[in-house]
Amino acid sequence: MAKETVAAPGPRPADKVRNVALVGHAAAGKTTLAEALLVASGALTRAGRVEDGTTCLDSEEVEVRQQRSVSLGVATVEHDGHRITLLDTPGSPDFVGELRAGLRAADAALFVVSAVNGVDAGTVQLWEECAAVGMPRAVVITQLDRARADVEETVRLCQTMLGAGVYPVHLVDRGPDGSVTGVVNLLQPGADAPDADRLRSELIEGIIGESEDEALMERYLAGDELVQGDLMNDLETAVARGHFHPVLCAAPLQGIGMDSLLYLLVNGFPCPMEHGCPPVTRPDGSPAPPLSCDPDGPLVAEVVKTTTDPYLGRVSLVRVFSGTLRPDTAVHVSGHGMADRGHPDHDVDERIGAVSSPLGASLRPVAACPAGDICAVARLTAAETGDTLSSPEDPRLVPAWDLPTPQLPVAVEAASRADEDRLATALARLVAEDPTVRLERRPDTGQLLLWCVGEAHAEVLLERLRTRHGVAVNTVPVRVPMVETLAGSARVTGRLVKQSGGHGQYAIVVVEAEPAEPGTGIVFEQRIVGGTVPSQYHGSVEKGVRAQAEKGVNGDRPIVDARFTLVDGKAHSVDSSDAAFQAAGALAVREAAGAAGTRVLEPWCEVEVVVPGEYVGAVMSDLSGRRARVTGSDADPERDRTTVRAEIPEVELLGYAGALRSVSHGTGSFARRPLGYEPAPASLTAVPA
């Protein structure tokens, strides 16, 4: 197991802080790279291995078992007088919430690209998302020593698929047997490698193109030999602006390229002051002054990740944008009120506990966390992921993240009576930890649904319920609620006459029943003439009609979109009652269903599917196989995105999140909204036993 060898680095001024998110496709080597950087910086004595489950950043049981990251891993180290926080994000699109958390806390993104697998569509999409918000980006190519590794082709793909401003800084140095022996730094003159002079010239010209130093341009044009020290200030400026993207190479398992990468992180990546702070408002939505990365400014911090430790309780990973966070101080917790996802709004004061510097699962106490830094905070009982921490005297609110709406429902139920008591608490903790989760108790089916981003996300959530929270759950098929409507019209009589001595029950109603317009629900009217049914019982008949329609007459399928008109009936001066006329109204509904017949309806949804243009054909073909009606599409050539609109049965959406991911290679997303009901095919109309 990897061991910690140094204490937590102390607080640094913001210009000596670097917060870098490692992002990229699954299995590109992000965690392995982070582990090697921890060793190179002296934070660990030796690197753990993903295959052995011994890495510092993948400490959760499910990560060890699956040999992949499923949550955001964070480690703060010190190098060359700088405090560097590495945020290792999961590569699977199922864990996009953890990815968004890492990007929210970071000031730059380091894209990790495999020299074997190259650049995939998901990496391109993420690159474009980072570009849209001005996130500085760089690329590191890993797995140089693997069979089929092609560094030159990978660099070419980066330049072709990621767009302008991508410049290689490293070339790979290989021994006579083809093994990787080191990297050649093009920032230094005299590189002995094919195309080194040309690539170095292109690199320098790219840096100078972003430079405001006219003297540097004059020196270059005059033929002066520029060395790395001459270029780094301008390279850092170019990276911070988001227009220049250096490409480095690394072989983490051999420790090759680690020193160069640390040098770039310290000297070529922006500090928090250059990346800037997010806009803020007051909790009531009114304007608030803009923030600056000032340790003496008003306290504004954001909870970017929440975990539950069996010994420490709730632990919050916090990015401080302004002010200084100190142990045992009062803070105001402001939330965003995502009640539709089970995240209640927060507007409370709390007192934080210890403030720590994270090194994977290890928490190392620190005296303070100033603006620009990242820390872990204990004892925040109300704060959830995405909430804002600020001064109780001057509360602020940071805008909510852009997160996808979970589209995969999983029906869960407690495995035993003992688990029922703990299930609600455990689910509440899951929702507090993960803002991409939504919890719903469906009133029409009674099922408890855990809405997830994808199948892998669902698997991890269920595993956490079992291992972290000690709750055994079963998953059952998700039930899509079917309904019925009348197939025709009928005039029926609901008769309740019971007289067996003593006080009896007497109510007779004559009802005309017919289908109503879709979406109208149950319509009740009365056309009583002559008072055959006293007016005080009209409401009773309506109650009975609506109650029976909601209950249904076949299985548990309610009746909808039907009109029932009370036209005649009889009452008894002694034996009639509210209850009797309610029962007669219910009998009339059952009689009408039998006389007019019923049709089974299934719910339909309107969906919007967003995919790159190259996958539109595959998406439309898949939708057609799901009984969908494609109603139109809109292309966005600038972003190479097409929005496909369709109408589709809800039952066909149960597994659509995974299907869309498959046909779009992880680049598609969709949103739904209820559309109404339409006749269901015979295969779905069987009444459950």
Query: What is the tens place of the pLDDT at every residue in 132-179?
Result: 888 999 999 999 988 889 999 999 999 999 989 999 999 988 888 888
Which of 453, 475, 497 corresponds to the end of one domain? 475
Does 144 share its domain with 77?
Answer: yes
| Residue 686 predicted with pLDDT over 80 | no
Residues 642 and 497 in one domain: no
Whether residue 42 lies inside any domain: the answer is yes
Contact 564, 512 (CB under 8 A): yes
Task: Give the pLDDT of residue 657.
Answer: 93
In a domain, 590, yes or no: yes
Residue 343 has pLDDT above 50, yes or no: yes
Q: How many helices (H) does the chain have, and how many strands (E)? A: 16, 32
Helix, strand, coil percentages (3-state) for the chain, rounded to 5, are: 30, 30, 40
Last residue of a domain, one of 596, 611, 640: 596
d(CA 162, CA 127): 7
- At residue 622, what is the residue type? D
572 three-class SS: coil
**pLDDT greater at residue 455 or residue 444:** 455
Q: Look up the CATH number of the domain holding residue 470.
A: 3.30.70.870
Domain count, the chain: 5
Q: Which helix (H) or strand (E) holds 31?
A: helix 30-40
- Let me know whether 256 and 323 are in one domain: no
Confidence at residue 341, expressed as pLDDT on a 0 to 100 scale: 56
Q: Assign residue 676 a region: left if phi > 0, alpha if psi is -120 to 50, beta otherwise? A: left
**Model confidence pLDDT, tens digit, residues 30-65:** 999 999 999 999 999 888 899 888 999 988 888 888
Tokens of 168: 């290689």
- Residue 637 included in any domain: yes
Scan for tokens 């709730």, then name that residue: 314
Q: What is the mean pLDDT of the chain?
A: 90
Are 572 and 488 found together in one domain? yes
Q: Same domain for 591 and 613?
A: no
Answer yes or no: is 320 within a domain.
yes
CATH number at residue 564: 3.30.230.10
CATH number, domain containing residue 106: 3.40.50.300
Quickly state the pLDDT bin for 684 (edges 50, 70, 90): confident
Distance CA 398, CA 278 (A): 7
Domain with residue 673: its CATH number is 3.30.70.240
- Considering the domain architecture, whether residues 592 and 606 belong to the same structural domain is answered as no
With both helix axes pointing from N to C terminus, report the angle between 151-162 and 121-132 in degrees, rounded to the nearest 10. 50
Q: Is 263 found in the same domain as 158?
A: yes
Q: Which two tokens stand for residue 391?
A: 């001064």
Facing residues of 306 across strands? 316
164, 40: one domain: yes
Same domain, yes or no, for 497 and 512?
A: yes
Percentage, residues of the chain above pLDDT 70: 97
Domain with 553 in it: 483-596
For residue 243, the one-letter residue type is H
pLDDT at 1: 35
On whether residue 225 sits in a domain, the answer given is no
pLDDT of residue 344: 64
The pTM is what? Answer: 0.88
- Domain with 319 in it: what CATH number? 2.40.30.10
| pLDDT of the residue at 318 | 97
Look at residue 40 and tell me if it is in a domain: yes
Domain boundary among 533, 564, 596: 596
Residue 563 domain flag: yes
474's tokens? 């079963």
By the 8 A CB rule, do 15 and 234 touch? Answer: no
For residue 543, tell me if it sits in a domain: yes
Distance CA 302, CA 305 (A): 9
CA triple 24-272-127, angle to 5 deg: 25
Q: What average pLDDT score do residues 363-386 get?
A: 92
Residues ≥6 apart with Cβ < 8 Å to 669: 404, 609, 610, 611, 660
Does 590 lie in the same domain as 521? Answer: yes
Query: Residue 689's pLDDT is what?
Result: 41
The reply to whether 506 and 619 lie within a common domain is no
Give the three-state DSSP class for 455. helix
Could you report the per-residue pLDDT of 288-340, keeping only the tens digit for each?
999 999 999 999 999 999 988 777 788 999 999 999 999 999 999 998 766 55
Task: Render pLDDT for 477-519 as a digit per residue (tens, 0 to 9).
Answer: 999 999 999 999 999 999 999 876 667 899 999 999 999 998 8
Integer Rg of the chain from CA: 32
The 3-state DSSP class for residue 418 equals helix
* Claim to verify: residue 429 and residue 360 sit in the same structural domain: no
Average pLDDT score over residue span 238-267: 93
Report strand pairing: 448-452 vs 388-390: unpaired
